């Protein structure tokens, strides 16, 4: 039997977000700041160029702070571990404007059932949903690369919604979304710090994802590939 020669094939790395060749750094998906130290050994990272990575830190910090300060995430072990750092961050001079805005938005909100039964009141605050969506959409693109080893098409569309936004969909579509996600593959990062469900290409030829942070904060993400016409532009 003759000698067997193995050929080493190297796959060229590209930025998971823009496709630039030989990216200079890595991006944590989700942001590593949502994990309490000591962080898990197997956090997901994707190749990323400096241009795509340079403006993410402040948005990631805002995302972490807004989700961790919710009443329904308070008992999560990672939230308990990062809260001291979050409170310290609000005392930084560069956070002065955000801190004032957050304090100003704090208010009491009455809780009622769909039948109008009063359940009491809770303290709430306003969050910039467009800023949260920006981070969620980047996480979805990063996970797409992680799962498929290819970037999501640059001219494709990524849309994210909180579960409170589902009232924009018709009842039959909501039922279809629930059906597809109930059969989707489920993966977990950390101590259920992020749990994500993937229904790739199973919802009207779209990618449908459900990202759940700290066991209680859900974002529904549609990843819409470009049409053949858009692909040729």
pLDDT digits (tens, 9 = 90+) for 29-69: 999 999 999 998 889 999 999 999 998 998 999 999 999 98
- For the chain, give the mean pLDDT: 82
Please determine, for residue 137, whether its predicted confidence score (pLDDT) is greater than 70: yes
Residue 198 burial (CB count, 10 A): 22
Supply the pLDDT for residue 112.
53
The mean per-residue pLDDT over the stretch 157-177 comes to 80
CA-CA distances (angstroms) from residue 89 to 61, 98, 135? Answer: 9, 11, 19
Tokens standing for residue 147: 């799962």
**pLDDT > 70 in the chain, percent:** 74
CA-nearest of 169, 111, 150, 108 to 15 is 150
Please determine, for residue 159, whether its predicted confidence score (pLDDT) is greater than 60: yes
Supply the pLDDT for residue 233.
41
Please determine, for residue 132, whether its predicted confidence score (pLDDT) is greater than 70: yes
pLDDT band per the 50, 70, 90 thresholds, residue 177: confident
Domain ranges of the chain: 25-231
pLDDT tens digits, residue range 185-219? 899 999 999 999 988 665 555 789 999 999 999 99
Please determine, for residue 113, whether its predicted confidence score (pLDDT) is greater than 60: no
Q: Which of 87-101, 128-142, 181-195 has the lowest mean pLDDT?
A: 87-101
Run of H or E residues at 44: none
């Amino acid at each position: 039997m003759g000698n067997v020669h193995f050929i080493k094939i190297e796959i060229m790395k590209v930025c998971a977000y823009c496709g630039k060749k030989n990216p200079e750094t890595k991006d944590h998906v989700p942001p590593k700041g949502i994990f309490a130290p000591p962080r898990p050994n197997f956090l997901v990272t994707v190749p990323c160029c400096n241009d795509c990575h340079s403006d993410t830190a402040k948005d990631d910090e805002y995302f972490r702070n807004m989700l961790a300060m919710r009443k329904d995430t308070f008992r999560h072990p990672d939230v308990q571990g990062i809260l001291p750092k979050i409170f310290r961050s609000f005392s930084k001079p560069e956070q002065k404007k955000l801190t004032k805005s957050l304090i100003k938005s704090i208010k009491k909100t009455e809780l009622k059932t769909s039948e109008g039964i009063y359940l009491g009141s809770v303290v709430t605050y306003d969050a910039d949903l467009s800023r949260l969506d920006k981070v969620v959409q980047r996480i979805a693109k990063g996970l797409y690369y992680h799962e498929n080893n290819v970037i999501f098409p640059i001219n494709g569309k990524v849309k994210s919604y909180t579960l409170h936004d589902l009232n924009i969909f018709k009842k039959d579509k909501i039922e279809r979304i629930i059906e597809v996600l109930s059969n989707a593959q489920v993966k977990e990062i950390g101590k259920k710090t992020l749990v994500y469900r993937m229904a790739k290409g199973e919802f009207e030829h779209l990618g449908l994802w459900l990202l759940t942070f700290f066991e209680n904060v859900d974002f529904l993400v549609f990843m819409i590939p470009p049409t053949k016409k858009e692909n040729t532009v």
